[in-house]
Chain A
C-alpha cells in the first residue's frame, strides 16, 4: 500500500508542479512578451550589428565596414574588445558584453539595413516608417516633408523632435510604432526630404480620407493626393 501511495504521491506532485509551472509559464508569456534576451554572434545581421560595428569602429577595435553583417572581422573585433575589457573572450555579444559596450540588444534580426542614419535623420525616418511604410515612395517622402514644413512654420514646434513628439500630432507616437526600426526606403525618404524634396509643395497636414473623421482637418484646402494620404495646407 505504502509503495503504491508513494508512487502516486510522486505522480501527484509531479502533476501539480507541472501544472504550476505551466500556469506560471502562461502568465509569463502573457505578461512579458519581451523578456527573452538576444545575443549577437557570427552570422547575425541587422540594426544591432550596425550599432555594434559603429561602436567598435569609433573606439578603434574594428577596421571593417559598417554593413550590419557580423562576419569574421566583427568577431575578431568583439574578441579584442572582450580581451581588453576583462570579459569572457568568446566573440559573442551577450548581455554582459552588450552592457560593457553600452548598447541594448533588441532581440532577433530586424531589417538588415545597407544604409545608416543617425540623429534627426533617423528620427525622421522612424516617423516616416511608422506613419507611411505601406505608402508609395513619394508618399513616404511627403510625410517627411510635412514634418519639415512644420519645423519651418511658426505655428508648430521648431525642431524635428518637437514636431514629431508634439502631443497628439502623430498617431504613430501614441501607439509606439515610432520606435520600430525604419527600413532603407524610409531612411532614403527622410534624406531626400531633408535635402529639399517636397512632393507636397509646402503642405502642413495630411490624413487618410477613409479614416479621418475630424471636420477641421477635412475643411483644409487639399493640395495633392499621394497614395492613400491627402495633403493639405
Chain B
C-alpha cells in the first residue's frame, strides 16, 4: 500500500532511504506513469466516441425537431395560401352576384348598397391576390381588373350620391364585368376542384415572381413592352407557372370611367408643361441659369412620366447638386442640393415663418407668382413647404410645388414641381353661387371655424370642384371642411394631425 503512494509524497519522507529503495521507487514510478498514460488513452478512446455519439444523437434529435417544426411552418404557410385562394374565389363569386342584381334593381339606394358591396369585395379580392404566390407577370392584369371594378363602383356611388344616374354605357360595362368575373370565377373553381393551389413551395420565390408563362393561348401582358415571344423562362418553375396562368382570361373588358386607377388616368399626360421641346444643351443652359451658376454634367435622358434630362455637378457655392429639366418646355422638374442634415421636429414659430418666406421668395425669383404656402414638414434638418398655385385668390390644391429649405442656413436646397407641371393650366373658374355666409350654414355646428377661403379641390381623378374651405377645430382637433360653392354640398373633410415632423393631412 505504502509503495503505491503518489510520488509527490516521497519528497517529504525522511532521508534514510537506501539507493536500492530509490531505484525501486523510480522503476515503480515509471511503471505508474506508463499505466497512467495507458489509462488516459483508454479513457480518451472510450470517451471521445461516446461524446461524439452523444453529440450526434443530440444533433439528430435537434434536426428532427427542426424538420418537424419546418413542416408545421410549411403547412401553416400552405394553408394560409389556400385560405387566400378560397377567399379570392368567394369574393369573386359574391361580386358576380352583386353585379347580376344591379341589372334588375331600380332603386338608387339599392344601387348604392350593391355598388358599395362590389367596392368592398374588390378590396378584399385584391388583398387575397397579394397573399397568393403567383407570378406577377401572369396576374398583374387580373389584379388591375379587380382594382378597377372597385374603383369604378366607387365612382358610380359618388355619381349617384350627387344626384346622377347610371347611364346606358354603365349597364353595358357592368354586363361585361359580370361576364368577365364569371369566367375568372370558373377558372379558379376548376383549380380548386382539382386541389391545385398556387403554392410558394412550388414556385421559387425570386424567379417565380417574374417568371413568364410562354404556353400558347395565354394572354400577353399589356401591349407596351410586351415580352419577346421566343423568350425562355426558368425551366424549374415552368409547371407551376403554367398552372398559375389559369386565373387569367383572354380578354379583360376595358372600363371607361373617371377614377384614380382607370386606364386613361394611369396614362394621363402632364398638362402644365410649356410649349416646345428643348434639346440637352438648351436644358443644360437652363439648369445652370436656374441654379445661378455652377458646373454641371449630363447624366442622361429619362423617359418617365415626364421625360427629362438629368444633370449633376456642383452649384456656385460648391454644393453638390442634381437637377432635372423637362424635355417638353425645358422647365426644372426637380432639384436637390446636398444638405448638412440635422434633427427632426417643428422649429419655433418665427423660425418657421422665416424659412417659409425664404421658400416663397425663391419661388417668386424663379417665376412662380402667387404661390400660397399650405402645409409643411420638418425632418432631418430640412423644412419642406408645400406651395399651392392661386388664381383670382382661389387656391388650386392640385398644383403643388415642394420647396426644401435647410433649417440651419435658411438656404433653399431643393424643389419638386412634379405636381405643378402635371396639372397646372389656367382654370375656367365659375363664380360662386353661394356667398361665404350661405356656405357656412352647411358646416357642422361642432366645428369652431377659424378661417374661410375659396379653393379648387380635386373631385374625381380628372375633375375639380370650387369650394369654400373652412378651417377650424372640434374638441381640440383641427379639421378642414370643403363646401361646394355652387350647391352647398359637403365635398370633403380632412383631419390635420400635428406630428413631431409637422402637419399631416388625412
Which residues of A approach B to under 8 Å, CB–CB?
1, 3-4, 7-8, 11-12, 15-16, 19-20, 23-24, 26-27, 31, 114-116, 138, 152-158, 162, 165-169, 171, 174, 184, 188, 191, 195-198, 200-203, 213-217, 219-221, 223-225, 233
Contacts and interface: CB of A to CB of B under 8 A. Distances in A.
Contact of B266 (A4, A116, A154, A214): A154
Contacts of A213: 207, 234
26 contacts: A3-B6, A4-B32, A4-B36, A8-B40, A12-B43, A15-B44, A16-B43, A20-B51, A24-B58, A152-B260, A162-B130, A167-B134, A167-B209, A168-B133, A168-B208, A168-B209, A171-B206, A184-B380, A191-B379, A203-B304, A214-B212, A214-B233, A215-B228, A216-B211, A224-B310, A233-B224
A154 B144 contact: yes
B58 A27 contact: yes
Nearest to A169: B209
B33 to A, nearest CB: 11
B478 interface: no
Interface stretch (B15-23, B135-143, B286-294): B135-143
A16 B1 CA distance: 29
Interface string B35-46: 010011001100
Contact of A216 (B1, B44, B55, B231): B231
B80 to A, nearest CB: 11
B132 to A, nearest CB: 7
B233 A115 contact: no
B394 to A, nearest CB: 23
Contacts of B402: 195-196
A184 B382 CA distance: 14
B55 A225 contact: no
Interface in B276-308: 300, 302-308
Contacts of A24: 58
A23 B4 contact: no
B227 A224 contact: no
Q: How large is the interface on B (under 10, 10 to 19, 20 to 34, 35 or more residues)?
A: 35 or more
Given A1-B4, A166-B130, A174 B416 contact: no
A4 B6 contact: yes
B332 interface: no
Nearest to A198: B418
A174 B130 contact: no
Contacts of A3: 4-6
Given A158-B126, A224-B310, 15 more contacts: A3-B4, A31-B62, A115-B379, A154-B148, A154-B151, A155-B141, A155-B143, A162-B127, A167-B205, A169-B209, A188-B379, A201-B305, A203-B304, A219-B228, A224-B304
A214 B210 contact: yes
Contacts of A216: 137, 210-212, 227, 231, 233
Nearest to B133: A167
Contacts of A167: 131-134, 200, 205, 209
Contacts of B137: 216
B21 to A, nearest CB: 19
Nearest to A22: B51
A19 B322 contact: no
Contacts of A15: 43-44, 47
A155 B144 contact: yes
Contacts of B208: 168
